[in-house]
């Protein structure tokens, strides 16, 4: 800990390591993949810890590489820029949501999205450290993420990337084209739920007295937003049997609704 009471880089890395230790291993992961994942995780953890302690603008890629004991090029083999090292965990959430909506199961589309978003909330998972320390670290992360213009721009880029990837998954769900207007709208609705989750975390973490209370507050906000999103996502799901692949005269895919061909 520093004299101000904020955690130092070593203390933050200790918390990260405790969280990783509680993650279930992937039985299908080979030795090569595991080594690459661990290198990537180390880079992200070190970069995040250094940025939390020193500030985004004051930490250089060269300093991160030195702390990781690797060449700068190695960092860029895993990440396109410094921002992506800090927001590395957003990629796993994108994959979780995309996987959830790609295949049709018993759950509705909105239920699948909510489950993926709820399971992706990285709160209250480490029992190895004091809860107050974890809350303090999470507040620090949120404050840095919202206080840096560069990180704010990175969040916007993540929103666009998320929408693009979910559009592909939704198109596969109903056998449509990723650029169909219905697919794009449904992807934007789901991306909106992501934003609700993010902004809700930023807001409630400032006053949460426990990780469980924070989880509950974020989940309540997601449920409220999902009530508005549900009709649109249900309508999208109902298209699955109506995409016939035929084309209008202008080349646009024609979609039948309610079993009737469009004039």
| pLDDT score, position 60 | 96
Q: How far apart are CA 174 and CA 192, in angstroms?
A: 21
| pLDDT score, position 16 | 86
Pick the CATH number of 1-82 from 1.10.10.60, 3.30.420.130, 3.30.450.40, 3.30.200.20: 1.10.10.60
pTM for the whole structure: 0.81
Helix axes 31-54, 61-68, angle to 10 degrees: 130
| pLDDT score, position 128 | 45
Architecture of domain 87-263: Orthogonal Bundle (1.10)
| pLDDT score, position 258 | 35
Which residues of the chain carry a pLDDT beneath 70?
1-6, 120-129, 240-263
CB-based burial label for 3 (10 Å; 0-12, 13-18, 19+)? exposed
Sorted by where each begins, the domain ranges of the chain are: 1-82, 87-263
């Amino acid at each position: 800990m520093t004299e101000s009471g904020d955690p130092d880089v070593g203390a933050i890395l200790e918390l990260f390591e405790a969280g990783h230790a509680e993650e279930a291993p992937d039985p299908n992961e080979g030795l090569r993949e595991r080594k690459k994942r661990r290198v990537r995780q180390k880079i992200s953890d070190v970069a995040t810890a250094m940025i939390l302690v020193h500030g985004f603008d004051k930490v250089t890629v060269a300093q991160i590489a030195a702390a990781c004991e690797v060449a700068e090029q190695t960092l860029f083999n895993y990440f396109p820029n410094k921002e992506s090292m800090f927001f590395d965990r957003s990629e796993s959430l994108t994959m979780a949501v995309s996987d959830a909506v790609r295949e049709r199961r018993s759950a509705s589309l909105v239920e699948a999205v909510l489950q993926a978003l709820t399971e992706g909330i990285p709160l209250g998972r480490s029992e190895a450290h004091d809860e107050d320390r974890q809350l303090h670290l999470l507040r620090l992360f949120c404050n840095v993420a919202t206080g840096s213009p560069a990180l704010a721009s990175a969040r916007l880029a993540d929103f666009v990337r998320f929408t693009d990837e979910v559009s592909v998954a939704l198109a596969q769900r109903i056998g449509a084209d990723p650029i169909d207007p219905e697919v794009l709208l449904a992807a934007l609705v789901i991306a909106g739920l992501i934003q609700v989750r993010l902004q809700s975390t930023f807001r409630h973490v400032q006053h949460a007295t426990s990780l469980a209370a924070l989880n509950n507050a974020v989940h309540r906000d997601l449920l409220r937003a999902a009530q508005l999103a549900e009709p649109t996502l249900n309508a999208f799901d109902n298209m699955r049997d109506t995409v016939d692949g035929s084309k209008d005269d202008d080349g646009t895919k024609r979609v039948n609704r309610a079993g009737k061909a469009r004039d």
